[in-house]
Structure 1
Amino acid sequence: MYTPPAFRMDDLPGLHGTMRDAGLANLLTATPAGLVATPLPLFLDPDDGPFGTLHGHLARANPQWRTPAQGDAMALFMGPDAYVSPSWYPSKQEHHRVVPTWNYVAVHAYGPVEFYEDPDRLLALVTTLTRRHEEPRATRGAVPWAVSDAPADFIQGQLKGIVGLRLPITRLEGKRKLSQNRNAADRAGVRDALAASDRPADRAVAAVMPE
C-alpha cells in the first residue's frame, strides 16, 4: 500500500483498533489462476503472535480455500471514508489551486493462511465470532443470541457447510489519510463540513480527523 509518511499508521493498538472496528474484511490470496478475494467477518486475537492472529470461516463451497495460495494471504480492513470537496478548503478562495480527494483509514494484514475442517475448532470459532457481535446488543437492551440457543444437531449440520481459517499476522500496514497534508485551516474546513453532513459515514471520518 502506497503510504506517504504523513499518513502512515505505526502504532499497534491503533492498527488493531481499526481492524476490530471494521468487522468485515476482504481475504485476498494469489493463486495459479489469479487473485481471489472473499468478504469475511474476521476477529482478531491480539495476544497470539507479535502482531496478532485473525480468525474466520468461509463457505465450504467457496473454491478459495481449496486453491493453494502462492505466498502470504492479505486481509484488507477499511475504516471510515468520505469524499472531500475542494470547496471546503479556505485556501480555495486564495488561489483556487485545489482538487477533490478522498479521506479514509485502511489496514492491510499479511500472513500465511491455514484452513481447517475440525468440527470442534469450528464450533469454538463460530461461538467466539457470534459472541463478539452479539454482546454489544446487550448494551442497547437486547438479549444477545448465542450459538447454544439453537439445537445442537442443527448447529452441527451448519458447521458441515463451512471451513475455518487462521491467519497469523507477520506484517501490518496502516494508512490514515485524513487531510494531514493540508494546513490547519483547510483541515478544519474539511472536518466541519463532514461533521455537518447527513451521512453517518462522513461524520465518522470527521470524528477521527486530527485537530
Structure 2
Amino acid sequence: MYVPPAFREDDLVALRGMMREARLANLVTATAEGLIATPLPLFLAPEEGPYGTLYGHLARANPQWKLPPAGDAMALFMGPDAYVSPAWYPSKQEHQKVVPTWNYVAVHAYGPIEFFEDPDRLSEVVTRLTDLHERPRAKPWAVTDAPDTFIRAQLKGIVGLRLPITRIEGKRKMSQNRNAADQAGVAAGLAASDRASDRAAAALISR
C-alpha cells in the first residue's frame, strides 16, 4: 500500500483499534489460478505474536482454502471513508487551486495463512467471533443457545483460518496535508452529511 508519511499510522494500539472497528475484512490470497478475495468477519487475538493473529472461517464450498497460496495472505480492513469536495476548503476562495479527494482509513495485515477443519478449533473460533459481535446487544445470543448437535452439523460446512500477522501497514488519510482552516472546513462539511460514514470520517479529522 502506498502510504505517504503524512498519512502513515504506525501505532500498534491504533492499528488494532482500526481493525476491530472495521469489523469486515477482505481476505486475499495469490494462487496458481490467480488472486482470490473473500469478505469475512475476522477477530484479532492480540496475545499471539508481535502483531497479533487473525482468526475467522469461510464456507467449505469456497475454493480459496483449497488452493495453496503463493506467499503470504493479506487481510484488508477499511474504516470510515468519504468523498471530499473542494468547495469545503476556505483556500478555494483564495486561489482556486483545489481538487476533490477521498478520505479513508485502511489497514493491511500480512502473514502465512493456515486453514483447518478440526471441529473443536472451529467451535472456539465461531464462539469467539459470535461473542465479539453479540456483546453490545441488550440480550446477546450465544452459540450454546442452539442445540449442540445442530452446531456440530453447521461446523461441517465451514473451514477455519488462522493468520499470524508478520507485517502490518496502516493509513489514516484524513486531510492531514491541508491547513487547519481547510481541515475544519472538511470536518464541517462531512459532519453535515446525511451519510453515517461521512459523519464518522468527520470525527476522525478532528482527532
* Aligned counterpart for 1:189 among listed residues 176, 180, 185: 185
Q: Describe the superposition over 1:23-73 as per-residue Cα deviations: whole angstroms up to 9, x where unpaired.
A: 100000000111000000000011110000000000000000000000000
The number of aligned residues is 207
Q: Which residue of 2 aligns with 1:124?
A: 124
Q: State the AA in 2 paired with 1:162.
A: I
Pairwise CA distance, 1:210: 3.9
For 1:60 and 1:158, locate their aligned partners in 2 and report how far apart those are by CA, in whole Å: 11
Mapping of residues 32-181 of structure 1, within 5 Å: 32-137=32-137, 142-181=138-177
TM-score, normalised to structure 2, is: 0.99
For 1:130 and 1:210, locate their aligned partners in 2 and report how far apart those are by CA, in whole Å: 32
User: Structure 2, unaligned stretches of length 5 or more?
Assistant: none
Q: Describe the superposition over 1:129-174 as per-residue Cα deviations: whole angstroms up to 9, x where unpaired.
A: 000000111xxxx210000000111101100000000000000000
- The structure 1 segments of at least 4 consecutive aligned residues displaced by more than 6 Å after TM superposition are none
Q: Describe the superposition over 1:69-97 as per-residue Cα deviations: whole angstroms up to 9, x where unpaired.
A: 00000000000000000000001111111
User: Structure 1, unaligned stretches of length 5 or more?
Assistant: none
SS in 2 for 1:120: helix
1:206 aligns with 2:191: no
The percentage of aligned residue pairs carrying the same residue is 75
For 2:34 and 2:88, locate their aligned partners in 1 and report how far apart those are by CA, in whole Å: 41
Q: State the AA in 1 paired with 2:89.
A: Y
For 2:128 and 2:157, locate their aligned partners in 1 and report how far apart those are by CA, in whole Å: 18
TM-score, normalised to structure 1, is: 0.97
